[in-house]
Structure 1
């Protein structure tokens, strides 16, 4: 499920060009990259110079594993480019004909938001979990001034390239929501583990974007549950899933030793309906094309030719993931759940309406439901006005909604 765009979204034409560039580069098709150049760039950087330089780059740094959008302005897009053997800043500029007029690699340094200060109420330590396809990197926050075993909450992030702190450079989300949650839980004597999703931040995987399924994310969360269960410092494991993370968590807890489940801002409907709802504000021709793509996915078929305006939600590389999501119905998962559950929903969430929480509650009658007035999708107080609501997405200093953590703590303490 894609989050609503905000704060300098990546232009769709750049998504298409970067996808082609990565494909050509990794397949050693330097001539094809050169064909993407504007006439001016071809004159400034002839193929005879570009080809050996690119081949040397490939030999030294290996394949381009992923590109992560950072910012855009004045026809220049900046990306974090992760190669097999190094990380660079990649600057890309296009002309009106979508031909490359600039392509420059530079040194990369982590942004300030990636290393926020640690709250004195907790002690943080790095966690690294080896998986079949790579490794998951996270942060364990242990409460200070406690003795004996403590509860631990596994925080499972929302859709897209969301990092351990709840930030998403590609969409401009810099609100530190999971970092803030870890701090508040720590103040209440509760440990937490938050982590970078697969192929985000310091979590790496050999799984390509086109190969990803929602089960891959749930396998990662499930492996972390098992790891926490083996740690004698913890009395019980609670899994907290935010947005799409609630669906990931719902799968992850099956036949694993979690004692409680918390769903925050979770959709209740089948994936295809949720995705179509997100397209309601788009032009009708985009809605119609997207519906045709979804209809094909429900039949097990992908669509190779996609309008660039739909790349943010249905580019060919993520269609297999969408297919895996569209087969799942959250209310069915809730109905089959055997452990205690808490459903949290804010009234000013622009992505997920309150009736989703009500439907999830109906599916599991013994679940607790917490409706928080004035809380938005990123768990912070915000008005219903769209622009003012979205402003909170780039404010890491804004605290979490006041009713959130007390409701979670009460539920966690009551779970046996």
Structure 2
């Protein structure tokens, strides 16, 4: 999909690193309300793509927001896309610190209304959006598939949920796979370096250690801005039940469980399964979801 709205390629020098991104503006004169878009975990770029694993969230989200009169900024994290460095060396807290710095840099841009800047996060990005909501006071917070439990609890829930959807022959060895996974998780927790080899693979060890102990429930009560939290009923990576936790900790939060919506922000009429991801990624992000987000954000940002 081509981004047809005015856009500017920009860079930020934050926390000793240069990060590159795209600022998409709505038509008409500014300054405009805006949203910072934060992607999920791993080696994903500003469009939530990791090599051939292409979620392609950035452009359609930016277009939908621009059509609703909202500017948006998305950027490549350290060592991803146009941003130099090694993504494996960046910790979970580094990603959060960079998001906070870029959020405040976006507020300072002349094209943007500083008091009308919100944040939209998906998966890991949603967890950082919770922290920003409590500490940087955005005008609105949108959480797409954000968990509300400790990182370790979220990982264990995900592993259990995925295991239950595997084909029958593989489910027979689920106990063995579980033991292997537990040993590897313990090995990651025991590391002390930024990058380490676990199970023969080089992993972003500091990111894992920091993510496993982080609990967003500490941040949620500090959010005073309007909150929209959406998780799909067929999400294999984040429990839709966490919406109830968000609602209990953020008074007035608008929480929505979406039938057939998956973690990939596509709808699937079939039973949820990790083996469906390849098929789902050949479909576009659910346009109705993007419209729902933009329609919710627009009046809350324009009112500021």
Instruction: Tell me the TM-score normalised to structure 2 length.
Output: 0.83
1:141 paired with 2:24, answer yes
- Aligned partner (choices 205, 212, 231) of residue 90 of structure 2: 212
Distance 1:305 1:151 in 2: 44
Paired position in structure 1 for 2:57: 177
Q: Deviations over 1:77-136 (max 9, x none)?
A: xxxxxxxxxxxxxxxxxxxxxxxxxxxxxxxxxxxxxxx5322xx111101111233211
Paired position in structure 1 for 2:9: 126
Paired position in structure 2 for 1:117: 2
- For the 8 Å contact 2:92–2:210, the answer to whether it is kept is yes
1:247, CA displacement in angstroms? 1.3
Unaligned runs of 5+ in 2: 164-172
Paired position in structure 2 for 1:391: 279
1:208, CA displacement in angstroms? 6.5
Paired position in structure 1 for 2:170: none
Distance 2:69 2:276 in 1: 34
- For the 8 Å contact 2:38–2:122, the answer to whether it is kept is yes
Distance 2:267 2:57 in 1: 12
Q: Deviations over 1:135-156 (max 9, x none)?
A: 1111111011x33432111000
- Aligned partner (choices 117, 128, 131) of residue 251 of structure 1: 131
Paired position in structure 1 for 2:71: 191
Paired position in structure 1 for 2:265: 379
Task: Kindly name which structure, 1 or 2, has the bigger radius of gyration based on alpha carbons.
Answer: 1
Distance 1:335 1:407 in 2: 22
Secondary structure at the residue paired with 2:126? helix
1:410 paired with 2:296, answer yes
Distance 1:339 1:295 in 2: 37
Distance 1:179 1:246 in 2: 18
Secondary structure at the residue paired with 1:237? strand
Secondary structure at the residue paired with 2:236? coil
Paired position in structure 1 for 2:179: 288
Secondary structure at the residue paired with 2:242? helix
Q: What is the aligned residue count? A: 286
- For the 8 Å contact 2:140–2:226, the answer to whether it is kept is yes
Distance 2:54 2:264 in 1: 10
Change (3 A) 1:305 1:155: closer
Secondary structure at the residue paired with 1:402? helix
Paired position in structure 2 for 1:333: 219
Secondary structure at the residue paired with 1:266? coil
- For the 8 Å contact 1:139–1:193, the answer to whether it is kept is yes
Distance 2:197 2:139 in 1: 45
Paired position in structure 2 for 1:7: none
- Aligned partner (choices 138, 145, 154) of residue 274 of structure 1: 154
Paired position in structure 1 for 2:239: 353
1:293, CA displacement in angstroms? 4.6
Change (3 A) 1:384 1:271: farther
1:222, CA displacement in angstroms? 1.0
Q: Deviations over 1:205-234 (max 9, x none)?
A: 3x672x421111111111111111112322
Distance 2:62 2:73 in 1: 8
**Superposition RMSD in Å:** 2.6
Paired position in structure 2 for 1:54: none
1:251, CA displacement in angstroms? 2.8
- Aligned partner (choices 162, 182, 185) of residue 44 of structure 2: 162
1:319 paired with 2:201, answer no
Structure with the greater relative contact order (CA < 8 A, sep ≥ 6): 1 or 2?
2
Unaligned runs of 5+ in 1: 1-115
Change (3 A) 1:278 1:375: closer
1:174, CA displacement in angstroms? 1.8
1:405, CA displacement in angstroms? 2.2
After superposing on structure 2, the runs of 4+ consecutive aligned residues of structure 1 that deviate more than 3 Å are 252-255, 292-306, 387-390
Paired position in structure 1 for 2:253: 367
1:298, CA displacement in angstroms? 5.6
Change (3 A) 1:164 1:345: same
Distance 2:50 2:247 in 1: 29
